Amino acid sequence: MIGDASKAHRILGWQPKIDFEKLVIMMAESDLERARNGQVWY
């Protein structure tokens, strides 16, 4: 995964509310929870 928010910050003044590491953890936890509940997607 590659992300660079510098353009959004420069043009819009936007800043992320969570850091990249936390985002990856949240995504992995969500995927694991869906798999546990049988909500697998293809």
For position 40, what pLDDT does the model report? 77
For position 1, what pLDDT does the model report? 67
Residues of the chain with pLDDT under 70: 1, 42
Would you state the structure tokens that stand for residue 31, as one six-digit string? 């995927």
- For residues 42 and 34, give the distance between their C-alpha atoms in angstroms, rounded to a whole number: 12
Quick check: pTM over 0.75? no
Q: What is the DSSP letter of 37?
A: T
